[in-house]
Structure formats: structure tokens, C-alpha cells
Amino acid sequence: MRVCFTLRVRPDRVAEYRERHREVWPEMRAALSEAGWRNYSLFLAGDGLLIGYLECDDFDSALARMARTGVNARWQAEMAGFFVGEGNADDRMRPLTEVFHLD
């Protein structure tokens, strides 16, 4: 399945967020792959709108598998201050409904 979601990065932290993602921890990248996240990309607008895209067999399962990893807990704790709102980013991901796909 294809999943596209949105989040909101604090506008005053957009540049730092981009910089932090230049080198995502190797163990985080490995955990995402092992949890079934494929073709994962993030896109960030200057105003803080973050669009995420991934492919997986089951999104809820892929999120749950990541939630069970220590590396995800560490990453979420470090990144929490970048986002608008409370809680970690994984809990606030809201998938969009796909309305068209050119196959």
C-alpha cells in the first residue's frame, strides 16, 4: 500500500529539521526497513508543511513495529520539539486518502 501523510514542523525550526535529516542515524534507517517501510520520503515546505510518503504492507503494523524499537523512541524524543503540537510525530501522522494514481 502507498501512504502519504502530513505533519507540521515549527516554522522557526525548518532549517534545522532539514539539516538533521541530511544524515539520519544508520540504526534508524535499518529499523525503518526492518519494520517494512519502503520507498520512504519526506518533503518539507518553507512554512513547515511536511509531507511523508512510504510504501508498506500495512501502515498500522509498520507504525507498531517501529514503536517497539528503542531507536525510534530515542529519535522521537530528540525530534519532538521540531513539531507543532503535543506528543511524538508517529502518533500525529494522518494518512491522506489517495484519489488518483497513474499506474
Q: What percent of the chain has pLDDT over 90?
A: 92
pLDDT tens-digit series, residues 9-54:
999 999 999 999 999 999 999 999 999 999 999 999 999 999 999 9
Tell me the catalytic residues.
21
Q: Is the pLDDT of residue 56 over 90?
A: yes
Our CA angle for 75, 81, 82, nearest 5°, is 85
Query: Are 95 and 4 contacting, i.e. CB atoms less than 8 angstroms apart?
Result: yes
Distances (CA, A) of 27 to 10, 23, 32, 89, 102: 26, 11, 9, 18, 34
Domain locations in the chain as residue ranges: 2-95
The cell for 39 is 520507498
What pLDDT was estimated at residue 96?
97
What pLDDT was estimated at residue 86?
86
Q: pTM score, two decimals?
A: 0.92
CATH number of 2-95: 3.30.70.100
Query: Are 37 and 23 contacting, i.e. CB atoms less than 8 angstroms apart?
Result: no
What pLDDT was estimated at residue 94?
86
What pLDDT was estimated at residue 32?
98
